[in-house]
């Protein structure tokens, strides 16, 4: 068996060498393929804009301490959430933060953000930056022009009039395309073991990428804070409403007591004394209710504060100095390698297939 393997291995090497010699035998054809694919690679590379990536890293507060916290961390490493059993169920947990960032309702709020490119003197909205500053390769123009032509024919006047109006549940094609561009440029990664959140934003300008990364980080914090404190804030508003009603009732009772006492200041009848005591008891009861509702308001405020999550920003977004996109030289090199592979396929296989097909057609 070993001798057979030894005899087969050299034959394979010999076959590869023969194939390589067969390809290199037609040097002119290989040179043509390399030149053509190099030109294609240069054209492709020149039509690709450099892209920069800004990264921000933050960590939410840890909700567990001691053994329970350790169990939660261990469970988080395997994708489980034990915090759901510790009191209330929280629907916004770190694993779905990327879904929140990818939602249209979140993305359209980034449209009006003012951004300024590195070499610009005036700022513009992020929407206009993506619309006018981001260039598409020239080979996409025919499809774009055809789509615009069809849209103008099929779209109604109402649709054309609302191009500048953003309706979250009914976006225009242009607005939906801008949402898609933002969605592809934002990436959110969650470390299940540590719950560290890493947000990266890619753009053709390094300053714009940094601005949007910082904004996305703050908007995500606000979104999570708004969600987690929503129930507590509703309870606080209800407690404040009851407190205002109790305060008015207390003031009304005070006014009634004072008015009755002033109007009967010289009256010493037992019936007057009984009525005055009743009014005084009513004032005390209303004051007690007012005090209780005031305490409930303070408790509700404390609950809102308790439910407000704290975030620690580990890495602030920094202006990237180097482009994160593939270098143009590597793009051209990739096309050169592709040209060599295509030439090899043509010489070794495709040319014979093409000749056989043409021969059959002639017959």
If you compute the radius of gyration of the chain from its CA atoms, what whole number of angstroms results?
A: 36
What confidence score (pLDDT) does residue 121 get?
85
* Apex 87 CA angle, 73 and 242, nearest 5: 140
| DSSP code for 138 | G
- Determine the pLDDT at residue 159: 47
Residues pairing with 59 in the sheet:
312
DSSP state of 347: I
- Nearest CA-CA partner of 36 in 44, 47, 26, 24: 44
> Coil, helix or strand for 112?
coil
Tokens, residue 182: 């933002």
For the range 342-346, what are the long-range contacts, defined as Cβ-Cβ under 8 Å and sequence gap of 24 or more? Answer: 342/33, 342/37, 343/23, 343/29, 343/30, 343/33, 343/34, 344/19, 344/23, 346/29, 346/33
Q: What is the pLDDT of residue 259?
A: 85
pTM beyond 0.85: the answer is: no
Q: State the Cα–Cα distance between residues 262 and 264, nearest whole angstrom.
A: 5
* Per-residue tokens: 217: 């980080």
Kindly state the tokens that stand for 117: 């490119």
Which residue numbers in the chain have pLDDT < 70? Answer: 1-14, 61-93, 138-152, 154-164, 264-270, 361-363
Residue 330: per-residue pLDDT: 93
Give the strand pairing for 52-60 and 186-190: unpaired
Measured between alpha carbons, how far is 300 from 232 in angstroms, rounded to an integer?
Answer: 7
**Angle at 95 (CA atoms; ends 93, 204), nearest 5 degrees:** 115
* Residue 9 structure tokens: 């291995």
| SS3 category, 78 | coil
């Amino acid at each position: 068996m070993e001798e057979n393997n030894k005899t087969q291995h050299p034959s394979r090497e010999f076959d590869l060498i023969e194939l390589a010699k067969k390809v290199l035998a037609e040097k002119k054809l290989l040179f043509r393929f390399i030149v053509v694919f190099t030109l294609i690679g240069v054209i492709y590379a020149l039509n690709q804009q450099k892209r920069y990536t800004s990264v921000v890293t933050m960590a939410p507060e840890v909700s567990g301490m001691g053994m329970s916290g350790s169990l939660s961390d261990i469970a988080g490493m395997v994708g489980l959430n034990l915090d759901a059993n510790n009191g209330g169920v929280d629907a916004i947990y770190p694993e779905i933060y990327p879904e929140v960032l990818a939602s249209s309702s979140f993305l359209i709020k980034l449209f009006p953000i003012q951004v300024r490119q590195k070499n610009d003197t005036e700022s513009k909205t992020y929407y206009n930056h993506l619309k006018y500053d981001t260039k598409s390769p020239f080979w996409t123009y025919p499809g774009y022009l055809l789509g615009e032509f069809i849209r103008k024919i099929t779209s109604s006047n109402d649709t054309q009039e609302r191009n500048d109006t953003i309706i979250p549940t009914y976006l225009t094609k242009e607005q939906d395309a801008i949402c898609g561009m933002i969605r592809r440029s934002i990436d959110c990664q969650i470390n299940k073991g540590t719950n560290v959140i890493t947000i990266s934003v890619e753009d053709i300008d390094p300053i714009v990428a940094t601005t949007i990364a910082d904004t996305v980080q703050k908007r995500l914090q606000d979104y999570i804070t708004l969600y987690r404190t929503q129930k507590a804030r509703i309870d606080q508003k209800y407690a404040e409403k009851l407190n205002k009603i109790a305060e008015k009732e207390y003031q009304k009772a005070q006014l009634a007591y004072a008015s009755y006492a002033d109007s009967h200041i010289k009256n010493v009848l037992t019936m007057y004394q009984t009525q005055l005591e009743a009014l005084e008891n009513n004032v005390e009861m209303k004051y007690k209710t007012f005090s209780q509702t005031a305490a409930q308001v303070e408790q509700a405020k404390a609950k809102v504060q308790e439910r407000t999550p704290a975030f620690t920003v580990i890495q602030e977004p920094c202006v990237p100095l180097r482009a994160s996109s593939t270098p143009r030289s590597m793009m051209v090199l990739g096309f050169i390698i592709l040209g060599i592979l295509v030439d090899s396929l043509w010489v070794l296989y495709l040319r014979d297939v093409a000749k056989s097909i043409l021969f059959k057609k002639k017959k």
